[in-house]
Copies of this chain bind each other. A is one copy, B any other.
Amino acid sequence: MQLSSQLIVNLEQAIQDHNIEEIKRLIKQVNHADLADVLATLSFDVQVKLIEYLPHAAYVFEFLSLAQQLEIAEQLPTSQLVQLISEMHSDDRTDLFKALSKNLKNEVYAQLDPQIQQQIQKLAQYAEESAGAIMSSDFVALSPNLTIPQAIEQIRQQASDRETLYLIYIVDQASKLLGVVSLREIILAEPTKRIADIMTTDLVVGAVHEDQESIAQKLSHYDFIALPILDDEQHLLGIVTYDDAMDVAQEEMTEDFLKSSAVSSSPKMSIKTAPIFFLYKKRVFWLVILVFGSLLSGIGISHFEDIISANIVLVFFLPLLVGSGGNAGSQSATLMVRALAMGDVQLKDWMYLIGRETLVALCLGGTMAFAVSILGYIRGDAMVALVLALSMMGIVLLGCLIGMSLPFILNRLKLDPASASAPLVTSICDATGVIVYLFIASILLGQVAA
């Protein structure tokens, strides 16, 4: 439930009064995500005190965005920051640590427990957007020889600071993964059995260098709560949990979404708070590239200047015809980009899809040709209507085929198909459209003039 503002007022008062008992009473029933929302709204000196008094300050702190965490971290007394960082889960801790300023990083690192130092070193080494960079080392691992009651006792002992204890990993003495068992299965098992009897050995795993998007897809495909992450020798290094997978899926889709409008991907930026120059940089690159695309259209037009001067009515219909090709093309491209991202189609389906797309494009082109030829007849004559109908048919067909093929080609070249943005497809289709339209016009209307 959303916190009442009365509670926030009471909480601020209790913090001012250093009334720790009252603070504990007030927040007892408030969950970590809501407490983080409260924390974010407080003034800095109240924040510091609340972090000092909170029983699980680190878990609340983790619900803040990285930018908010950094802002607080940079102002906290070092000793308090060290304690906070020590209590965080290993994945969030590493993210925050990597983002600290160089000085602060060194200062904090020196005061951390050697075991935590080692864990940070390990996790910080993995490439951005790899499984290693998002995994947590806070998992429960057991030996296969335990009986069920022994296992439950072990889980109780390990549980307090683990991300999940609902999937328990079974490892040998060298930390190689042997199997997995869910807490559900342990609860339901006969007490006389051993873990080895009930564990699953058909394992779905992720590799530590695997792309985070692929990890998120596996979790979602199998509906797992967590996925174990292994190195090349099958050693269990960490887990990625379903909530991290949700965040990754959202990040990746935002990236694709921005690319679809030719904005360089940067899923974490906010248009509300990002610096003006940063937003400029993310957008100017593609805008300038696209200028060259449009130049092609201009060159096409200048090639047909004579036929335009002689039939100025052609200019009236130019935006309509050219625009329709671009619109149909960006529809095709978006459908294809999405289908490739969802794993719905593969490269080998290309010919089959081109065939289907041709049929759809013929229907679309036919409808549009019919509509535009009526307009042409009203404003021009039967010949203009014919030019428009033929051009529209050809332009929509070409637009669809270009829009459908571009993501495939990019994929084939190992580039991100999402770069086949609507503006890029539009400017390619525009140039094609100009040439098709004016070529058809110059043949048909040229003949009439002759």
A-to-B contact residues, CB < 8 Å = 1, 29-31, 33-34, 152, 155-156, 159-160, 165-166, 183-184, 187-188, 200-205, 220-223, 225, 242-243, 245-247, 249-250, 253-254, 256-258, 260-263, 270-272, 276-277, 279-280, 283-284, 286-288, 290-291, 293-295, 297-299, 301-302, 305, 308-309, 312, 315-320, 322-324, 326-328, 330-331, 333-336, 338-339, 342, 344-345, 349, 352-353, 356, 359-360, 363-364, 367-368, 371-372, 375, 422-423, 426-427, 430-431, 434
Contact = CB atoms under 8 A, between A and B. Distances in A.
Given A246-B246, A271-B353, A291-B371, A261 B334 contact: yes
B243 A220 contact: yes
Tell me the dominant secondary structure on chain A's binding face. helix
A367 B286 CA distance: 12
Given A29-B201, A287-B328, A294-B324, 15 more contacts: A1-B204, A156-B187, A165-B187, A225-B225, A246-B246, A261-B333, A263-B331, A271-B336, A283-B360, A284-B364, A286-B331, A290-B323, A294-B319, A295-B320, A299-B316
Contacts of A330: 261-262, 422-423
Contacts of A344: 270-272
A68 B114 CA distance: 54
Contacts of A31: 200, 202, 204, 222
A344 B250 CA distance: 14
Contacts of A284: 363-364, 367
Contacts of A363: 276-277, 280, 284
A45 B317 CA distance: 58
A326 B271 contact: no
Interface centre among A246, A260, A349, A353 (most CB of B within 10 A): A246
Contact of A323 (B222, B249, B276, B294): B294
A372 to B, nearest CB: 7
Contacts of A360: 276, 279-280, 283
11 contacts: A33-B221, A34-B202, A155-B187, A261-B333, A262-B330, A271-B344, A272-B339, A283-B331, A286-B331, A323-B427, A323-B430
Contact of A220 (B225, B246, B294): B246
Contacts of A317: 298
Contacts of A331: 261-263, 283, 286-287, 423
B353 A272 contact: yes
A395 to B, nearest CB: 12
Contacts of A336: 271
Given A220-B243, A261-B422, A305 B315 contact: yes
Contacts of A295: 320, 375
A263 B225 CA distance: 34
A323 B326 CA distance: 11
B291 A315 contact: no
B359 A276 contact: yes
A438 to B, nearest CB: 11
A290 to B, nearest CB: 5
- The 9 A-B residue pairs with the shortest CB-CB distance, nearest first, are A261-B334, A297-B319, A29-B202, A294-B320, A422-B422, A223-B243, A294-B323, A298-B316, A327-B423
